[in-house]
């Protein structure tokens, strides 16, 4: 599904809140962070229907040095900064981060990445990955060697599937991701279609690759997709606990760069083909 033309809106929280509710996917939004507060602010307000105000760890803040749309954006300096959801949710039916075995989802953000190829930065991490008893698979989205990456894991990483990676020589390597340009605004998106069990990755709206993990096995049996050997994903139950942005739940892999219009949808695969990246809340 493609995004259409841009909506012209004034900057400011009131207009953002009004316009975002016109998003046809609004009911699916679990996270909607514009990062549009005044320069110097450490208030990170969620404009989804859940309305969380994120907890700050470190000195991440909104600054006017760089902005894609609103005059400010959120800046991570690569040194122990992160924001995270105030409550642990996602384990019970009805929680905002529950996708279930057949749940579609979409993640997207505008990013201006700083640093070098050696900088690994966390864009989405939940503490489900360390849970041993609940059996749910958590998501970890990151930039590594300047490529957008996704892995699914549980039991402290002992059950691990790399979906999109920066290096296909990894033991459990998935599909090769695409490089991301430095020091310029880039739109990033990953979607999961529960019907086809297909993960898709997009950079600036271009569909880079699809990975499909089929079957119901619990292990990492390889599946051949896109010419690479993949770990089997199968019909796993994907749920997120507390979500962290900027560093992992354990405080490593710090992000160095700027973010704007961060969104996470549960229950819908928003993108299945190349699209025009959204501008100023053009959904």
For the chain (283 residues), the mean pLDDT of every run of 10, in chain order, is: 34 55 83 94 92 92 94 93 82 68 84 76 79 67 86 68 64 64 92 81 90 44 39 56 87 92 92 88 53
Q: 10 Å Cβ neighbour count for 158?
A: 8
What pLDDT score was predicted for residue 158?
Answer: 64
What pLDDT score was predicted for residue 237?
Answer: 65
Residue 53's DSSP bridge partners are 45
Q: 10 Å Cβ neighbour count for 50?
A: 15
Nearest-angstrom CA–CA distance, 29 and 20: 10
DSSP structure string for 215-252: S--SS--EEEETTEEEE---S--EE--SEEESS-TTS-
Taking only Cα atoms into account, the Rg of the chain, rounded to an integer number of angstroms, comes to 17
Q: What is the 3-state secondary structure (H, E, C) of 129-159?
A: HHCCCCCCEEEEEEEECCEEEEEEEEHHHCE
Residue 19 DSSP one-character state: H
Quick check: helix, strand or coil at residue 257? strand
């Amino acid at each position: 599904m493609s995004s259409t033309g841009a909506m012209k809106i004034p900057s400011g929280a009131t207009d953002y809140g009004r316009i975002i509710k016109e998003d046809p996917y609004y009911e699916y939004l679990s996270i909607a962070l514009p990062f549009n507060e005044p320069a110097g602010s450490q208030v990170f307000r969620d404009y989804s229907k859940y309305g969380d105000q994120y907890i700050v760890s470190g000195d991440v803040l909104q600054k006017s040095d760089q902005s894609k749309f609103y005059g400010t954006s959120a800046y991570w300096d690569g040194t122990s900064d992160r924001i995270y959801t105030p409550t642990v949710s996602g384990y019970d039916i009805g929680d905002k981060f529950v996708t279930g075995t057949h749940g579609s989802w979409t993640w997207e953000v505008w990013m201006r990445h700083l640093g070098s190829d050696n900088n690994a930065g966390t864009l989405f991490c939940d503490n489900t990955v360390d849970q041993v008893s609940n059996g749910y698979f958590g998501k970890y989205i990151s930039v590594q060697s300047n490529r957008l990456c996704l892995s699914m894991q549980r039991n402290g990483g002992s059950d691990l599937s790399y979906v999109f990676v920066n290096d296909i020589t990894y033991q459990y390597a998935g599909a090769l991701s695409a490089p991301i340009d430095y020091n310029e605004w880039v739109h990033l998106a990953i979607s999961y279609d529960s019907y086809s069990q297909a993960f898709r990755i997009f950079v600036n709206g271009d569909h880079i690759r699809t990975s499909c993990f089929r079957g119901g096995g619990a292990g990492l049996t390889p599946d051949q997709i896109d010419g690479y050997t993949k770990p089997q994903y199968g019909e796993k139950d994907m749920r997120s606990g507390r979500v962290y942005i900027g560093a992992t739940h354990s405080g490593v892999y710090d992000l160095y760069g700027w973010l704007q219009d961060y969104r996470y949808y549960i229950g819908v695969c928003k993108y299945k083909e190349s699209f025009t990246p959204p501008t100023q809340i053009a959904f």
